[in-house]
Structure 1
Amino acid sequence: MHFYSLDFIKEMPKSDLHLHLDGSLRLDSLIEMAAKVGVKLPSQTVEGLKELVFKDSYQNLGEYLHCFQYTCAVLRDMDNLERAAYELAIDNQLEGVNYIEVRFAPQLLIDLPSGIDFDRVMHAVNNGLKRAQQQYNSQALVLSGDKPAFAYGIINCAMRMFGDKGFSPYYTNLFQLMRDFSPIEVIKLAAMELVRASVRLRDEAGIPIVALDLAGQESGYPASKFKEVYEFAHQHFLLKTLHAGEAYGAESVFEAITECYADRIGHGYSLFVPEMIQDPAIKDKQKYIRELASYIADKRIAIEVCLTSNLQTNPAISDIKAHKFGDMLDHRIATVICTDNRLVSNTTVSREYKLALDNFDIPLKRLKDMVAYGFKKSFFPGSYVEKRQYAKQCLEYFDKVAQKYGFIN
């Protein structure tokens, strides 16, 4: 095994491509935001909230997702939303993360009777991120080219499912308006509206909305139901990622790629769990997994790996060494280390790298490859030429840091 200190990990350039805004607030900020808008929290102290809501471990995915009702409630205030985006960028900058893709479901925050529409939500998030970016990139070391700049993109999440009440004012109203439609038709309609609005705001306002994501309960809501939504994204040069293979079998990953043109896969954990395959037509499960893994590796479809989050939400993973990240490495799949939710999972990018490097055999060359995937497989909001130049600068900086810590002569 190779040893990498936390100091080295923090200093090396990093990205986070799977980062939920509403799962990554600062706890003390959450308390202040709740007081500002009159949202009642189970505790008014950081310690109390850590004990009651934002825990180190959760019984199941349901308990994990319970946290989001509090964060979404405070983010329906535009000042709070802009502040959360700004602080998230700052927190990443402080641990050497140069590039982030912040994802969230705008429709969870829309509240039309209060004057909060899609455009206001997106501008608030972008204003917070842009302010943090401008501050960071005005530093002397960045201006001189000695340190890579900070950059970001925004990924908008469509929800796979939502109920007719309680999810958000927007979804509740939509169900009331469309009461003669089946629930899945309403859900697909909301997803289609989201992707159309995302393309419009990207093109007309220049907001760096770089991709579409599909989040929420996988089981019972397969990616294939959202094929038309993803076709619209595909035809309008909006890139595509999906939560797939988090709580459903390898077929979920296959569907994301073949039906929804996925450029990346969120989680992808169950890709290597044959017992989770439910399609009766798949007789030889091991062969199916081998062929699918080989296809993903060959096409360089990156998997956004969220180690701590998977440990917290998947009781089947007894300890970190049993995580299928090892299989991903063995199959030479492009893997990118991500946090998922900095608050809900109580983690950072540096901590996720430390977890991976302490428990899997990753020599420096493989580590540099993983760091490279974070920049090369990003949905960078510039041209391909600009993205390549940015990735090159970040990787040259990696070499500089590795040399400082004695890894390279």
Structure 2
Amino acid sequence: MARYSAEFIKEMPKSDLHLHLDGSLRLESLIAMAKRTNTKLPSNTVEGMKQLVFKDKYANLGEYLHCFQYTCAVLRDMENLQQAAYELAIDNQNEGVNYIEVRFAPQLLIDLPNGINFDRVMHAVNDGLKQAMQEYNCSKAVLGGDKPPFAYGIINCAMRMFGDKGFSPYYTNLFQLMRDFEPMDVIKLAAMELVRASVRLRDEAGIPIVGLDLAGQESGYPASKFKEVYEYAHQHFLLKTLHAGEAYGAESVFEAITECYADRIGHGYSMFMPEMISDPSITDKAAYIRNLASYIADKRIAIEVCLTSNLQTNPLITDIKQHKFKDMLENRMATVICTDNRLVSNTTVSNEYQLALDNFDVPIKRLKDMVAYGFKKSFFPGNYVEKREYAKQCLHYFDRVATKYGFI
């Protein structure tokens, strides 16, 4: 097994295609933002917040998701939101990440009584990311051709479920306005409004909204419920990813592909767990998984792999070597190493690569393929020719770094 140093991993070009903005704030900034907006936190110190909220290990997915109530609360201030987006881009640049796709649920941050609508939220995020990109791309290293430029896209998340009170001002008001509708109808309506607004703002304001995601609790809220939402995205050239195969089995991944036209899959590890298949009509579970994996590999539908996050939220994975990343590699699937949530999971892209490369057999050629998928399977905010040229530039830089460290 090749040994890859932390220095090599940091220096090689990288991407992060599964990166939640509201789970990736700087902890020091979160505390300062809370003070600025009079938001109450369990502690006003970094050490206290790490002990009480942002832990290295969580009891379950519920405890993990509990963290987001504090980050979303401070991000309903547009100054805080722009700062968070800017700092997230800077943090990635500082560890050699060239391309990021920042995802979040705008409707969690909308607060109409306080004048915060969808457009203001999207402009604040884009302004922060754009500022960081422009500063980086004006540096001597980029202008001189020593390093590839930095680029980004934005993925908007629809929510699979939300409560009628306290989930966010937007969702609370929506349930009040539509109190005679079935909850699932309200949820789907919110998702449809999100995708329509995303396409509008992309086309009219030029904001690089590159994709649609479906986040939140999988069990009980199947992807098929959102088929019309994803059809709208599909028909308007908005690319598609879904959280699937995270807390639900292979059927969830199958639905994401067949019902929602998924271009990528978020997480996907439980698709290799036959015990999580619940459909009684699937009698040969091993064959079902084998055929599904083969189809995904053949179509090059990329899997957004988030190792640390999966270890923290799935009690069935007690050791990294148990992670189904091994099965993904064996099935020759297109895998992309991602962080999920830099703050909540206390990780970086470099840390995730180190975790993968220290525990799974990935020779240098396969590593280059993984890095390449991060650029080639991205939802790059340009045309296909521009995306190819950018990927080529980043992979040329990978060869230079690999040669420097003696791998080529």
Q: TM-score range by the shorter chain?
A: over 0.9
Percent of aligned pairs with the same amino acid: 85
Residue 49 of structure 1 is matched in structure 2 by 49
Residue 382 of structure 1 is matched in structure 2 by 382
Distance 1:243 1:39 in 2: 30
1:33 equivalent in alignment to 2:13: no
Q: CA deviation at 1:342?
A: 0.1
Distance 2:166 2:11 in 1: 42
Residue 58 of structure 2 is matched in structure 1 by 58
1:325 equivalent in alignment to 2:325: yes
Distance 2:273 2:88 in 1: 33
Distance 1:8 1:138 in 2: 24
Distance 1:114 1:380 in 2: 33
2:31 counterpart SS class:
helix
Residue 103 of structure 2 is matched in structure 1 by 103
Distance 2:378 2:94 in 1: 20
Distance 2:145 2:207 in 1: 25
Residue 126 of structure 1 is matched in structure 2 by 126
Distance 2:403 2:40 in 1: 50
> Residues 266-323 of structure 1: CA distance to partner in whole angstroms, max 9, x if unpaired?
0001110000000011000000000000000000000000000000000000100000
1:18 counterpart SS class:
strand
Distance 2:160 2:386 in 1: 33
Q: CA deviation at 1:144?
A: 2.2
Counterparts of 1:116-265 in structure 2, within 5 Å, are: 116-265=116-265
1:81 equivalent in alignment to 2:81: yes
Distance 1:158 1:10 in 2: 32
The 4+ residue runs of structure 1 with deviation greater than 4 A are none
Residue 15 of structure 1 is matched in structure 2 by 15
What's the TM-score, normalizing by structure 2?
1.00
Distance 2:385 2:157 in 1: 27
Distance 1:189 1:152 in 2: 28
Q: CA deviation at 1:141?
A: 1.6
Distance 1:63 1:146 in 2: 43
Distance 2:298 2:52 in 1: 44
Distance 2:328 2:11 in 1: 26
Distance 1:32 1:186 in 2: 35
Q: CA deviation at 1:407?
A: 1.0
Q: CA deviation at 1:406?
A: 1.1
Distance 1:166 1:266 in 2: 27
Distance 2:89 2:8 in 1: 21
Q: CA deviation at 1:55?
A: 0.1
Distance 2:146 2:72 in 1: 38
Q: CA deviation at 1:143?
A: 1.2
Distance 1:274 1:2 in 2: 31
What's the TM-score, normalizing by structure 1?
1.00
Distance 2:237 2:24 in 1: 28
Residue 292 of structure 1 is matched in structure 2 by 292
Distance 2:42 2:140 in 1: 44
Distance 1:173 1:309 in 2: 32
1:85 counterpart SS class:
helix
Q: Partner amino acid for 2:115?
A: G
How many residue pairs align between the two structures? Answer: 408
Q: Partner amino acid for 1:292?
A: L
Query: What are the ranges of 5 or more consecutive residues in structure 1 without an aligned counterpart?
Result: none
Counterparts of 1:267-306 in structure 2, within 5 Å, are: 267-306=267-306
> Residues 221-257 of structure 1: CA distance to partner in whole angstroms, max 9, x if unpaired?
0000000000000000000000000000100000000
Residue 339 of structure 2 is matched in structure 1 by 339
Q: CA deviation at 1:140?
A: 1.4
Distance 1:29 1:36 in 2: 10
Q: Partner amino acid for 2:369?
A: D
2:212 counterpart SS class:
strand
1:166 counterpart SS class:
coil
> Residues 360-409 of structure 1: CA distance to partner in whole angstroms, max 9, x if unpaired?
0000000000000000000000000000000000000000001111111x
Q: Partner amino acid for 1:293?
A: A
Query: What are the ranges of 5 or more consecutive residues in structure 2 without an aligned counterpart?
Result: none
2:381 counterpart SS class:
coil
Q: Partner amino acid for 1:59?
A: A
Residue 367 of structure 1 is matched in structure 2 by 367
> Residues 320-351 of structure 1: CA distance to partner in whole angstroms, max 9, x if unpaired?
00000000000000000000000000000000
2:207 counterpart SS class:
coil
1:56 counterpart SS class:
coil
Q: Partner amino acid for 2:227?
A: K
Distance 1:76 1:318 in 2: 36
Distance 1:39 1:407 in 2: 50
2:148 counterpart SS class:
coil
